[in-house]
Structure 1
């Protein structure tokens, strides 16, 4: 069964791979990213790429309006967009911390809130977190803003699953370990991850289509390495 799928953070890395994988299966994709060019250049007939800064209300409205005008339902929402910051705590500026939370927490809250009216009991909302946001996991210096923001969306997922468990969509969160992406290279220069963006994209694609049949309100730790 073909589904209507919204994916954020699609200009590179895992998000870009998700678009290709799910589009190849015939699903209708709305790809949201500040830079729509990489996806637009794929020229896939069942993919619409919209330039969208998730922190801007007018941009979010453009995405929601597309759904309202073209789709009756949103079957899958993958909150994949993320902003990274690695900096000594003593040197971190609050303005930079707010930017991290704007993308990693507030935009997830806002987009999910605005798309909920288009979901139903069979819809699945998947949010991408990080092992750094999991309580008790190994922590790394300089990631106070990033990892704490990723912890926030884990708790948000658990709360939304509880609130909508009677007749709403399913909510699950994936805490990823090291994946070979530009963000990983920025976080841990020289570290070679055991998983490629394409491989992780395949896992997330499969989970987004089927995971809600088995899980709701769950944190899944998707990692085989430290970091």
Structure 2
């Protein structure tokens, strides 16, 4: 069930990245944030209630609420034109939590691929914090590009591997590929999307961003 939610996390990250890049109108991104936010509330709630006290299942399911609340927060901000500062500081909370979940996946769950994926999400939500919480709006375009790419590599791709039953066969290779991809691609984007090319403050949607999981 979590894999189904992850597939649509990929969709909302791509949509929100496209919004930050200025490809789509900000308000048109709100419905997808509400849809996926609601799904990410239902999924972990079901998993927790059916866990029969399994602490690992509950621990993993609890992390999904971090993203559910992010997407619902984004949807409300976009719908009502709210200031994004509160969302930005919530993203800082998500960053610290994502780092813990990354460490847990490497050490407790023995899942290196999701250990790397949680690092991806920590990086993306850190960008959201900087853009929205600290108002460094010159990073908006870079954040949008990272967000859109993460929709495919941390949502769509692993979701289909899980849904088709191939994930366990390739999780080590996926971890290595994602680690290399992230360093190379996001590093190149940082060089390519120079500050002079970033979206100006007047074009930043008040309620943007996306994240995860």
TM-score interval for Structure 1 and Structure 2 normalised by the shorter chain? 0.3 to 0.5
**Normalized per residue, which structure has more helix?**
2
**Normalized per residue, which structure has more strand?**
1
TM-score, normalisation: structure 1: 0.33
